[in-house]
Structures are given as structure tokens and as C-alpha cells.
């Protein structure tokens, strides 16, 4: 597993906030999370047909969420993340349908995140999934 490449890609993404992967997690390959610079970042390690990877979910109140897989070969894949908004309609029936579609899609993504062990949710994340009003 090329942890150096994965750690480097992660550090480059969050360099402005001086956020890096904890050394103990890199050694143990245990999942974890961190809250720094306004970010809540959850991460886990894994392997697939392409080799070793790190998945992370990053949320910050000032930007859209990101869900990314960093591959040991230096590439990355954007994964589904919770959507922050939806286009509505002046028609109340259509507006309700669009909101339900938005919440249903976000609940599916939330279920996938929970399956990975990403179980920490900000209030904004909970609102977007319909967990709270």
C-alpha cells in the first residue's frame, strides 16, 4: 500500500488548513475522523481491484461536501456526496415531489456513508437528509 501517495494527496487538498492524516491512522489503517479549521472529515482505508485507497467525507459549513477516494497510484475518484439544495416549483404538489426526491437521494447517500462507518453528521447534513426539520 502506497500510503505516502495517499497521505500526500490528502495533505495537498487540505494544505490551506494545515490538515493531514493522523500518523497513527496511517500506521494502523484504522478509520477515523477529525474536526479542524471548520471541517469535519471522516475517513477509512480499503482495497479494491485498483489497489489500496483512502475514502474521505469532508463537510464544511462554507462549501459543498466532498466524498473522495484517493488511490495509491495518485489518482482520485469523486464519490456521491449529500446535495445542498434542490430546484423547487411554484406548484405545491410538484414542490413536494421535488423535495421528496432530494431527501430520498440524500438518504441513500447517508445510508452508504453510515455503511462505511461515517456516522458523524453536522446539523446541515441532518437537515439535508430529512433527519431533522
Question: In the prediction, which pLDDT does 131 show?
Answer: 73
Which burial class, exposed, middle or buried, applies to 114 when counting CB atoms under 10 A from its CB (0-12, 13-18, 19+)?
Answer: exposed
Question: In the prediction, which pLDDT does 133 show?
Answer: 65
Task: Please count the structural domains in the chain.
Answer: 1
Could you give the C-alpha distances from 49 to 7, 52, 83, 116, in angstroms and in order? 20, 9, 28, 18
Q: Within 10 A of 115 (CB to CB), how many other CB atoms are there?
A: 9
* DSSP character at residue 53: E
Give the domain extent around 103: 3-129
CB 14 within 8 A of CB 27: no
Q: 68 in helix, strand or coil? A: strand
CB 73 within 8 A of CB 53: no
Question: In the prediction, which pLDDT does 5 show?
Answer: 93
CB proximity list for 74: less than 8 A, separation 6 or greater:
5, 9
pLDDT in tens, the chain (133 residues): 678 999 999 999 999 999 999 999 999 999 999 999 999 999 999 999 889 999 999 999 888 899 999 999 999 999 999 988 888 999 999 999 998 998 899 999 999 999 999 988 877 777 777 776 6
Amino acid at each position: 500500500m502506497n500510503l505516502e501517495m495517499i497521505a500526500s494527496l490528502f495533505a495537498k487538498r487540505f494544505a490551506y488548513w494545515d490538515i493531514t492524516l493522523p500518523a497513527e491512522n496511517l500506521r494502523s489503517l484504522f478509520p477515523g475522523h477529525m474536526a479542524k479549521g471548520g471541517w469535519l472529515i471522516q475517513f477509512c482505508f480499503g482495497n479494491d481491484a485498483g489497489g489500496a485507497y483512502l475514502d474521505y467525507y469532508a463537510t464544511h459549513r462554507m462549501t459543498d461536501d466532498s466524498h473522495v477516494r484517493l488511490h495509491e497510484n495518485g489518482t482520485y475518484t469523486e464519490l456521491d456526496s449529500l446535495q445542498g439544495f434542490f430546484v423547487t416549483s411554484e406548484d405545491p404538489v410538484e414542490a413536494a415531489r421535488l423535495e421528496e426526491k432530494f431527501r430520498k437521494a440524500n438518504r441513500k447517500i447517508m445510508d452508504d456513508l453510515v455503511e462505511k462507518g461515517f456516522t458523524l453528521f453536522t446539523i446541515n447534513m441532518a437537515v439535508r437528509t430529512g433527519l431533522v426539520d
